A and B are shown apart, each in its own frame.
Chain A
Amino acid sequence: MVRSVRFVILTENETKRHRTADIYRHIFILSLSLCLMAVCMTNCPTLIVTVGLPARGKTYISKKLTRYLNWIGVPTKEFNVGQYRRECVKIYKSFEFFRSDNEEGLKIRKQCALAALNDVRQYLSVEDGHVAVFDATNTTRERRATIMRFAEQNGYKVFFVESVCEDPRVIAENIVQVKLGSPDYTDRNTEEAIQDFMKRIKCYENSYQPLDEDLDRELSYIKIMDVGQRYLVNRVLDHIQSRIVYYLMNIHITPRSIYLCRHGESDLNVRGRIGGDSGLSPRGKEFAQCLGRFIQDQNIKDLKVWTSQMKRSIQTAEALGVPYEQWKTLNEIDAGVCEEMMYEEIQEHYPLEFALRDQDKYHYRYPKGESYEDLVQRLEPVIMELERQENVLVICHQAVMRCLLAYFLDKSAEELPYLKCPLHTVLKLSPVAYGCKVESIYLNVEAVNTHRDKPENVDISRLPEEALLTVPPHY
């Protein structure tokens, strides 16, 4: 019942794009309604439990999965037992802590796991979280049974994600990438750290009971083998688990870079008008040429180029002289009745809409148009394909680029619509450790600024000057 109330509140946002009289009528109708605004991913909270020896990519998967689920609108949080352990045992001495005969160590580790589960309960049952990712080795059947009892008591579904890998190169690479920088090893030199960590892994190996095809046939899980060469998927129960499996089967860890940029400056940009389907201005054309040279200089292996189906992005791609793919889903946000208007005109003709947009830019939908939230849903297949690909250059638009960037940099729905994505600037994203390195390259071709910050006064009754306070200059 709690959940349906929450969805009713969401629908009030939806009504904001109607005129005042309509608003009241809609609130009345919708509050009596039983409708859900969002596709119902699951009807009860899900607990994702990682399983695997140390340095098998569990935390990498946990963080990435959490980022993806939050981006598509499923409130998700990860709970890393290692963090809890670090808070309890302030200073890490050596691998001896993890020895299976270390009674003291075992007690502390069990306490930490329970503390984490307690926080999971807080998140899923009290705070309206949908998915919790319980990131720990969970290598014994006993520990997993404890977790399943906990989930059953609280009415959560459990989905295991096990990572199995025997390739010593991959394990060594993992250790170098993320373990050496861990707080556990701040005072050690590289050699010692690696030695210690390998011994740590050994402590787990003896008692490791992988998920078994027969013994665990009633459980829902995915076993990822050798970093995605092979997967074993058992008993997927619902939509969210199906999406999680699809996502996990599409990600990879091959080093690559994703280049995001907008089309060159367009004629409508220059005149301060939003949307439309205009061509490039002379400076925009110059940018396209510079982009071509930049891409050549970067010497990128097997670069794929994607554009939207709008003239300005295609014109930009044409200057590169390489094959490119046009995606309709990369088209700019549809501003509906406000298409091709200047902000000044929107304020003049639709002051209510203009204010509502400033109040909640992420959820606000233009009349007969789209919202950022709609955009994210529309862009999900692009993200999925970006995960599958290696080196890609995406030539898109301001709102679209903000959505894509928010996915890679784990930005919230509040921050997303205000991310800075200026014209004539390429962002190079390279996955590194648990996140993404961003390099911003301005190609030194002048362009108008199209970024409008949130003004101070977002009230419906504000004056035009207050509304137009943050509009960037234009011709």
Chain B
Amino acid sequence: MDTFPKEFHRRTRCDSAENMSRVLRMKDPRLADQRATSFLSSTSGDLSRNRVDGIPAMCSQFLNTQSAVQAGPNDMSTEQKELTQTPLLKIWVPGMGSSLGQRRGSSRPQFTNCPTMIVMVGLPARGKTYISKKLTRYLNWIGVPTQVFNLGQYRREVVQTYKNYEFFRPDNEDAMKIRRACASSALKDIANYFTKEQGQVAVFDATNTTRERRGVIISFAKERGYKVFFIESVCDDPEIIEANIMQVKLSSPDYENYDKEEALVDFLKRIDCYKLSYVPLDEEKDRHLSFIKIFNVGSRYLVNRVQDHIQSRIVYYLMNIHVTPRSIYLSRHGESELNLLGRIGGDSGLSSQGLKYAKALAEFIRGQSIKDLKVWTSHMKRTIQTAEALGVPYEQWKALNEIDAGVCEEMMYEEIQATHPEEFALRDQDKYRYRYPKGESYEDLVHRLEPVIMELERQENVLVICHQAVMRCLLAYFLDKSADDLPYLKCPLHTVLKLTPLAYGCKVESFYLNIQAVNTHRDRPTNVNIARKTEEALQTVPEHQ
């Protein structure tokens, strides 16, 4: 009754690599071989930033077009285009032969349809760079290519040595010229970032305190069709300002040769230079602009004209972050029975070593004397068992569950190699984007963990008891690791990572609680080719029972 060849039925079950390659061969004999897949591996990285999904641009040259139905926008032919699933991302796409230009389905979330410039506004020491860096880290983590352009850096490159605050006096013509040139240079780099480097968001981190300067930026953006969103930080609490100066300004390259007292005095004079000409964003006069005004480190916000999804997300994020000192503790569950057997996934209980770890963790936590600690776990038995030993209330998050390995759940790496050698190789080729058949990818995990990150930002002291892949994603967010590094971050069992925000980043302390456990970290092997030998594939598999 159906017109699909039998292969498609088997394909949908994704039972074995053999079937998959048979399907691929049906479309094009060359696809199952080395050459085509080497293109998959070499270009898949580039495509990570593209709007369209998995199939590399160059593949179309090699693909057999005979099976593709020519499709125009109004093609109403009764012959439906056959869908095939891309090997790496497991995304269904119409026919192997259709070119990128014809593809209509985007599997990337559409945050915005044109590049966005985020423009910081505010006197010095108001947290602009702190916000810029944090926001950039967040946007990159959720998959929006973002970069900070800090005007201070540009100025330091031009004016090699900083003398004193006089450079910033409003009547210093020479300095003004230099500062304007730096601004133009930064704007040029932003344009380059958008057009040549496929960036989506650029954060222009500078004081931008005059209406005139903001006018220049707005014209620049308008000419090129970029959206502009202003973030203004307003603060008149002298304690906060001084704390900022102590934390980040005194260690700036500008003040290398100053002693602390002098530096503080000079910086305060620098701020005064800006105060006279400072024109804050105005509710009335700037009512047609899109902006958020943050007052006194978040006690109040004024939000005007949010235009699209990405701006809405940015506002939500900014309204959830805080600067109260606190620590985040990340740990995996104790060693599990499946860990011992070298099997991935599943929902097993703790091994005897794992139970020992749970008790050691409880002692460690007590020893840390943490104020109002929240404890979070996943819904899986091993994390819950670990938390139980702590004897304190804890919250279960399904979003913290380990990555779903689909058909490979509870398998050993040796078994995956035996039954799904192609999948195993694809995973090594692009571990971040690779999705297990009927399972998830690290990319999916990041998406799933976003609410956890948002809530972690809101909270103060938290202990998160989770899993290897999950912990890697969370760690990558805090330590600003790229998608390439993320899946290989070391998160060993029985080790607690204590993250403490410091200046513009995060301090990490690692505590190994001295309870033996198996190693579950599998490095990327040298040979990631589909045609590799079994020994080459299993080269980096850690030992197990």
Contact = CB atoms under 8 A, between A and B. Distances in A.
Interface of A: 4, 29, 33-40, 213, 217, 229-236, 239, 242, 245-246, 249-250, 267, 270, 276-282, 285, 288-289, 292-293, 307, 309-311, 314-315, 317-319, 321-329, 339-340, 368, 374, 377, 385, 388, 475
Interface in B378-422: 384, 387-388, 391-399, 409
B458 A267 contact: no
B451 to A, nearest CB: 8
Contact of B300 (A37, A234, A270, A314): A234
Interface string B75-95: 110101101010000111010
A36 B395 contact: yes
B1 A314 contact: no
A38 B398 CA distance: 9
A233 B396 contact: no
Nearest to B312: A250
Contact of A229 (B1, B305, B392, B438): B305
B76 A35 contact: no
21 contacts: A34-B394, A36-B395, A39-B395, A40-B395, A217-B299, A231-B302, A233-B300, A239-B455, A239-B458, A245-B319, A249-B303, A276-B12, A281-B1, A281-B2, A315-B83, A318-B83, A321-B72, A323-B105, A325-B110, A326-B107, A475-B1
B393 A35 contact: yes
Interface in B1-28: 1-4, 8-9, 12-13
B92 A233 contact: no
Contacts, number: 167
Contacts of B409: 368
B106 A325 contact: yes
A311 B444 contact: no
B301 interface: yes
Contact of A322 (B3, B92, B104, B312): B104
The 5 closest A-B pairs by CB, nearest first: A34-B393, A326-B107, A233-B301, A231-B303, A323-B104
Contacts of B85: 311
B238 to A, nearest CB: 18
B91 A326 contact: yes
Nearest to A275: B438
B309 interface: yes
Specify which of A4, A277, A317, A377 lies most central, judged by the most chain B CB atoms within 10 Å of its CB: A277
B173 interface: no
Contact of B75 (A213, A310, A321, A475): A321
Specify which of B105, B287, B391, B397 lies most central, judged by the most chain A CB atoms within 10 Å of its CB: B105
Interface residues of B, number: 66
A278 B72 CA distance: 25
A278 B396 contact: no
B8 A279 contact: yes
Contacts of A36: 393-396
Contacts of A250: 312
A182 to B, nearest CB: 32
B484 interface: no
Contact of A311 (B92, B287, B398): B92
B316 A326 contact: no
B8 A249 contact: no
Contacts of B36: none
Specify which of B2, B76, B109, B304 lies most central, judged by the most chain A CB atoms within 10 Å of its CB: B2
A458 B467 CA distance: 37
B315 interface: yes
Specify which of A29, A276, A326, A475 lies most central, judged by the most chain B CB atoms within 10 Å of its CB: A326
B384 A35 contact: yes
A321 B94 CA distance: 12
- Tell me whether chain A's interface is mostly helix, strand or loop, or mixed: mixed
Interface in B297-330: 299-306, 309, 312, 315-316, 319-320
A280 B305 contact: no
B242 interface: no
A318 B340 CA distance: 46
Contacts of B302: 230-233
B361 to A, nearest CB: 16
Given A229-B305, A231-B301, 14 more contacts: A34-B393, A231-B302, A245-B319, A276-B13, A277-B12, A310-B92, A311-B83, A311-B85, A314-B92, A314-B105, A318-B81, A318-B94, A326-B91, A326-B106
Contact of A39 (B75, B283, B397): B397
Contact of B2 (A213, A267, A340): A267
Contact of B319 (A236, A322, A324): A236
A321 B73 contact: yes
Contacts of B76: 289, 292-293, 319, 321
A340 B407 CA distance: 14
Contacts of A311: 12, 83, 85, 92
Interface in B432-463: 438, 444, 447, 455, 458
B116 to A, nearest CB: 16
Contact of B312 (A4, A292, A388): A388
A288 B80 contact: yes
A35 B303 contact: no
Specify which of A217, A310, A322, A328 lies most central, judged by the most chain B CB atoms within 10 Å of its CB: A328
A242 to B, nearest CB: 6
B252 interface: no
B74 interface: yes
A279 B83 contact: yes
A236 B347 CA distance: 38
Contacts of B72: 321
Contacts of B83: 279, 311, 314-315, 318
B382 to A, nearest CB: 14
Given A280-B80, A324-B106, A326-B106, A37 B299 contact: no
B326 to A, nearest CB: 16
Contact of A285 (B80, B110, B309, B315): B80
A250 B384 CA distance: 36
A289 B104 CA distance: 16
B305 A230 contact: yes
B304 A322 contact: no
Nearest to B392: A34
Contacts of A231: 301-304
Nearest to A377: B398
B388 A33 contact: yes
B300 A235 contact: yes
Contacts of A267: 2, 4, 9
Interface string B92-108: 10100000000011110
Nearest to B298: A236
Contact of B283 (A230, A279, A285): A230
Contact of A318 (B80, B90, B455): B80
A276 B14 CA distance: 11
B350 to A, nearest CB: 13
Contacts of A288: 80
Contacts of A276: 12-13
Contacts of A29: 388
